[in-house]
Amino acid sequence: MRDNSRIIRPAGRPFNGEITVPGDKSISHRAVMFGAIAKGTTRIRNFLMGADCLSTIDCFRRLGVQIDVEAAPGQVTVHGRGLRGLKGQQEPAVSIVLDTGNSGTTTRLVSGILAGQDFPSLLSGDASLNTRPMKRIMEPLSQMGARIRSVNGNGCAPLAIEPGQLHGIHYTTKVASAQVKSAILLAGLYADSPTSVTEPALSRNHTELMLKGFGADVSSIINEDGTATASIRPCRELFAQDIVVPGDISSAAYFIAAALLVPGSSLLIKNVGINPTRAGFLSVCRDMGGDITLLNERQAGGEPSADLLVKHSSLHSVTIEGGLIPTLIDELPMAAVLAAFADGTTVIRDAAELKVKESDRIATVTANLRAMGCDVTPTDDGMIIRGGKSLHGAVLDSYLDHRIAMSFAVAGLAAGGETRIRNANCVDISFPGFYDYFN
């Protein structure tokens, strides 16, 4: 087998200068999906050419949508087929088979769309994806009248979806999940009455913002008790849009952390999406004492962005909990690494969702931090990190989880000695060329 380990050595010098990070993964997925079911031609700029988003393109091409990709400038043109124009197999009883790769977003959101089609389909992903929980979408979609089942009866993909008449529901989710919320809202486009979803705290709202741009009747409110409700009315058609994808704050997080940790650094990260439902990592870094300035704040297509000036800072511990968690769910591994270098004891709680990501991130972060000499205790819904001791280089695994590979590459830059990350190429899922940025 090809060795795809990466050696990371301590950063010999500060991170200075300017960088841009690739386009936002969540927004890139949605732009293709909504473009595919809209009328007209959707043009997307700064699309993320990561493996997950390419899985989404591949699925919609199979569903009969012409999608032109110019990889170098990150330009994607989606020739929409309208809300009811997707195509199944020629033989109506035969399911169209879609490969969603490693992508939870593709699997869950596309399920919502497929539930409303008049042809059968089968969705399946890679070994990791096929162990991730899908009951969370099967339950509400079934309540809407969808005929969706887990082929192996274990609540995971492969998922078989057959045509069914959808009805609007009012659904309350147990976890704040944008993927679950989005699957329900997308199915709601095809229902015969309005649909709403209430979640315990507001998760990322890219679906609501972008669907509104495409002409859907969507609204959202934060309730008095802190829960959040998004509602959608059935829709006749969506209409194509031009979309400029901002840089991904989840990818920027690694460089924010590197600049905070490496002495002498002063790094300008240009054009980063700062939607408040995604920007929890910025507030946590600032609460830890991180020197981050937002410059040139602007809006494009309902999504705010800014340039971030990040300077080396000495960090102290924080508590990360509650409604903040969904706003930095993908950045918690990076936040845990920062906490290991920060003075004092950091507590992360209310984050049991970490267990059902691309790896069990409570277990994988704990294993790698311990290997580097950090005193960390995993809990049922987070971890306790006793920081402030210097960490040493170690042999680590990515556990085939892109965010674990990148978070610990940054840990390796700030630790003493050499770090080896096994299975390091999985960064291509969300950040192709990640390691080259450090050179």
In angstroms, what is the minimal distance from the CB of 45 to ligand S3P?
Answer: 19
Count of Cβ atoms closer than 10 Å to residue 258 Cβ: 24
Tell me the binding residues for 3-phosphoshikimate: 25-26, 30, 177, 179, 330, 357
In angstroms, what is the minimal distance from the CB of 26 to ligand S3P?
Answer: 3
Element at 396 (helix H, strand E):
strand 395-397
> Nearer Cβ to ligand S3P, position 196 or 251?
251
User: Please, which residues bridge with residue 313 across strands?
Assistant: none
Tell me the binding residues: 25-26, 30, 104, 132, 177, 179, 330, 357, 361, 403
Element at 332 (helix H, strand E):
helix 332-341
**Torsion on CA atoms 189, 80, 118, 188, rounded to nearest 10:** -10
Strand ranges of the sheet holding 16-20, from the earlier edge strand across to the other edge: 16-20, 266-273, 303-311, 291-300
In angstroms, what is the minimal distance from the CB of 85 to ligand S3P?
Answer: 24
Tell me the binding residues for phosphoenolpyruvate: 25, 104, 132, 179, 361, 403
Catalytic residue among 52, 307, 330, 401: 330
> Nearer Cβ to ligand S3P, position 56 or 117?
56
Helix (H, G, I), strand (E, B) or coil at 20: strand
Pairing of strands 395-397, 419-422: parallel
- In the block, tokens 């679950």 appear at 180
∠ CA 23-26-32, nearest 5°, is 85
In angstroms, what is the minimal distance from the CB of 391 to ligand S3P?
Answer: 26
In angstroms, what is the minimal distance from the CB of 358 to ligand S3P?
Answer: 8
**Longest alpha-carbon distance in the chain:** 64
Question: Is residue 330 annotated as a catalytic residue, yes or no?
Answer: yes
Identify whether the C-beta of residue 189 lies closer than 8 Å to the C-beta of residue 83: yes
Q: What is the DSSP string of 358-391?
A: SS-HHHHHHHHHHHTT-EEEEETTEEEEEE-SPP
As a whole number of angstroms, the distance between CA 340 and CA 372 comes to 10
| CA-to-CA dists, residue 173 to 39, 197, 198, 321, angstroms | 31, 7, 6, 19
In angstroms, what is the minimal distance from the CB of 36 to ligand S3P?
Answer: 16
Q: Which residue is nearest to ligand S3P (CB)?
A: 26
Identify whether the C-beta of residue 375 lies closer than 8 Å to the C-beta of residue 398: no
- 276 secondary structure, DSSP code: T
The residue ranges that bind ligand S3P (CB under 6 A) are 26, 29, 105, 177-179, 182, 203-204, 329-330, 353
- Residues known to be catalytic: 330
